[in-house]
Amino acid sequence: MLTSTQNPLVKQIRKLHSAKGRREQQLFLLEGTHLLEEACAVDYPLVTVCFTPEWQERHQQLGQEAASRCQRAELVSPEVLKAIATTVQPDGVVATAQRSLTPNSTPLQGVPLLTGVGLALETLQDPGNLGTIIRTAAAAGTDRLWLSTDSVDVDNPKVLRSSAGQWFRLPVTVSPDLQDVVTQCQTQGIQVMATLPDATLSYWDVDLLCPTLILLGNEAAGLRADLAMRADRQVKIPLMPGVESLNVAVAAALMLYEAQRQRRNKA
């Protein structure tokens, strides 16, 4: 059992707390039982799994499954587990996994980018927002999500935790050029919709039955003007006087569920 926080493995895993460390090692952290369960459920490639004796006793089957899927499994003391986790009160298990997401927005030849609704997020900075959007998008049946490269890391530990495991189930592409994604969608006849506070149309006034890409911008600055102008439709979320804006994750949820509502009403 590993008991020293100075162990080389412990030091290596601690480096994954930072974006630089994740880039250098091409690994990221999975913290907690639920994320490990979701990773195993989709056969995501694990590298290392560290767990305390207490956790192993409570989760024998999951521990055995995770150990059989990873390159290295280690029993560690609670002190070591706390040192490698980013949460204040870790639940007893931390894993590392291959960082497989790379900047790429090229569609497969002949395959539609969207058949329903997709999201493109520009310069999103808050990991809690991104994780919540991923969770909501998966719940609402969203096809896929694009994220600009100047956004928060998609495998930031808080993104994964906030996604409640749906990170593994929603296709996410980190794109170096969202304008190119917009162009590809429009070439395929996919409607592109931008969210702007001064638009004349409300989001529920737009037909979302056709394949649609929804553009959402930075928490503070919103969408860049040049990207918003490329959209086929510009819509707003009506707000009461004195309210400047909504949280971006809330805005995403409203529009995604409006699309789901329209589809269910048609059915």
Give tens-digit pLDDT for 138-150: 999 999 999 999 9
- CB-facing half-sphere around the CA of 227: CA atoms within 13 A: 25
Residue 112 belongs to some domain of the structure: no
Q: Specify whether 61 is located in the same domain as 147.
A: no
Q: Specify whether 150 is located in the same domain as 251.
A: yes
Confidence (pLDDT) at 104: 42
Residue 212 belongs to some domain of the structure: yes
The segments of the chain whose pLDDT lies below 50 read 101-106
| CATH number for position 227 | 3.40.1280.10
Q: Which domain holds residue 125?
A: 117-266
Of 98, 128, 149, which marks where a domain is finished? 98
Comparing CA positions, the residue from 135, 262, 138 lying closest to residue 193 is 262
pLDDT digits (tens, 9 = 90+) for 198-230: 899 999 999 999 999 999 999 988 999 999 999
Comparing CA positions, the residue from 74, 86, 75 lying closest to residue 31 is 86
Confidence (pLDDT) at 2: 95
Q: Report the side by side order of strands in the sheet with 201-202.
A: 172-175, 144-148, 117-121, 212-216, 191-195, 233-236, 201-202
Confidence (pLDDT) at 234: 96
User: Which distant-in-sequence residues (6+ apart) come within 8 Å of 33 by Cβ?
Assistant: 55, 59, 62, 91, 92, 93
In order of 128, 129, 133, 253, 255, the CA distances from 249 in angstroms are: 9, 6, 5, 6, 10
